[in-house]
A and B are shown apart, each in its own frame.
Chain A
Amino acid sequence: MSVVIESIHKTFGRFNALEGIDLKVETGELVALLGPSGSGKTTLLRIIAGLEFPDDGPGNIFFHGTDVTERDAYERRAGFVFQSYALFQHMTVFENIAFGLRVRSRATRPSEAEINARVNDLLGRVQLTQFAKRFPNTLSGGQRQRVALARALAIEPRVLLLDEPFGALDAKVRKELRRWLRAFHEQTRLTTLFVTHDQEEAFEVSDRVVILGEGRIQQIGSPAEVRANPANDFVRKFLGLDDESELLIPSPLHEGSRARELDAV
């Protein structure tokens, strides 16, 4: 499913968080929203999810051609993974994942057997089958992150939104999860946007990188494009390229952008 964002503005009091954002994410793309803190990247992600609403004006958001700008979060079916996981502390891992299915209206709610099957399948996919009956506060950071992911996937989201998904994890787990996310995306081709301030992460995982700064999109492009041709001083400075030294950027994990990278060279 594609996501189209048209001239979105957002102010908090006198602070302009977003000043006219236009962005099109194609079906099945994995896009990184990259930028320093305060650049508006998380705000943009929250607006897509319906957790914030853009300022009145011409701005619109389309999910696969349907205008969802006025839709509430619960109607959008956008899977959201929070930076702090936001797991339901009083529910087991199993119930956390089942929540999105249980709150559906009677007409669309799956049967208990279907819920069981779906949750167990997801537990297997995130390798947490033996943790089904545990409570979130007994899990490690990486395990919590995977529960949050499984919970978001349980609702069969139309788009997956990840807010600094690996931010709070240690370096080793972070690398593993990054690879896992890329492999998972290759499998499912679920349209995915993720927010990060870590360029290494953005370049390694995503198909395209959107660089945000001061409430505006500074550049959009594949990791190789952005690296080869920084659009302006902001991007150059943010990537640490302003002193003309070559930055060590890890080669992407996936074949698609590796080919593109080779093209660029």
Chain B
Amino acid sequence: MATSATTLEPAPPQEAPRRRRIPRKATTEPLWVRLLLITIAVGFIAGFLLMPLFIIFKESLLKGIRVYYDALENPHAVSAIKLTLLTAAIVVPLNTLFGVAAAWAISRFSFPGKRALVTLIDLPLWVSPIVAGLMFVILFGRQGLLNSLFWSGGKQVFPILFEPAGIVIATLFVTFPFVARILIPLMQAQGSAEEEAALTLGARGWQTFVYITLPKIKWGLFYGIILCNARAIGEFGAVSAVSGHIQGLTNTIPLHIELMYNSSQMEAAFALASILSMLALLTLVLKSFFGWQAERQAKEALESTP
């Protein structure tokens, strides 16, 4: 047996020089290329993302913690923070609802004008926010298209323009696409087989949505909400047009920052900027946390295999 096996083997090369091979993947690159790419990536992140963040916090605390707190305790600043949070609290749930409804309609039904609707959902992303804001000024303004409806005797019938309601409407428009845009491709990819299965098992429409669809889109939905929220808090252009910049009434955090900056109250501007930055960081932490949860859940599902 052994002899016949050896005769079949090709003769081994005599005294072949043994080269030591470093195991590497086919997709890897030479060391210098890797180092260059890593340097560029890290350098960019440090220079363009971390440095501004650091400067914001440093500048805001430059004149001491007392000045920082004074700036935040200023009644106008407090009112700006309140208005921003209130706007987000109204806008985010509404756009979540709109987004889910739109994604549901687009991914589950076919109807005339579906393509047009998909394009239109993106409209707020294509239009510059300031243009969107001006559109609302024209719509609700004194000489506006709907002036007979909204104005009477030189006063607004429903207080919208230069009022908190206007801020909410403008923000609603600008942040409309986020939830829908993330859910549409997700729901289209998932298809509706599981929903159909639920129906044949006796589940009603709402049960199918709550027990089957919602768990399937949960993480995408959360991601969309986070993006929508971040934009609602940070929106400047559209809000600026409809706000009228009334201190203590219609100034949001970004508008108040601009006001402070223009009036050379740098520490106040940076104090509020640090609040916005912290909200952004909190968003990031939440997003990572829920992403991590999602990954853990997927892993657990796999590990239940003996």
Contacts and interface: CB of A to CB of B under 8 A. Distances in A.
Interface in A99-154: 99-100, 103-104, 133-135, 137-138, 151-152, 154
Majority SS at the chain B contact face: helix
Interface in B54-85: none
Q: Most chain-B Cβ atoms within 10 A of its Cβ — which of A75, A87, A89?
A: A89
A88 B194 contact: yes
Contact of A73 (B194, B200, B215): B200
Contacts, number: 76
Given A86-B193, A89-B194, A103-B207, A138 B199 contact: no
Given A137-B302, A138-B301, A90 B216 contact: yes
B304 A133 contact: yes
B301 A49 contact: no
Contact of A104 (B202, B215, B302, B304): B202
Contact of B203 (A49, A87, A99, A154): A99
Interface in A25-65: 49-51
Contact of B201 (A72, A89, A100, A133): A100
Interface string A145-169: 0000001101100000000000000
Contacts of A155: 201-202
Given A73-B200, A74-B204, A99-B203, A90 B215 contact: yes
Nearest to A93: B304
Interface residues of A, number: 32
B301 A100 contact: no
B158 interface: no
B204 A86 contact: no
Contact of B200 (A84, A90, A104, A152): A152
Interface residues of B, number: 20
Contacts of B198: 88, 99, 103
A238 interface: no
A103 B209 CA distance: 12
Q: Most chain-A Cβ atoms within 10 A of its Cβ — which of B200, B211, B212, B215?
A: B200
Nearest to B190: A89
A211 interface: no
Contact of A86 (B197, B207, B211, B305): B197
Give 9 nearest A-B pairs by CB, closest first.
Answer: A100-B201, A86-B193, A135-B301, A80-B200, A86-B197, A73-B199, A103-B203, A138-B305, A90-B215
15 contacts: A51-B200, A74-B199, A74-B201, A74-B203, A78-B200, A82-B196, A86-B193, A86-B194, A88-B198, A99-B201, A103-B201, A103-B202, A134-B305, A135-B301, A137-B301
Given A51-B200, A151-B197, 8 more contacts: A50-B199, A74-B202, A80-B197, A82-B193, A90-B216, A99-B203, A99-B211, A137-B302
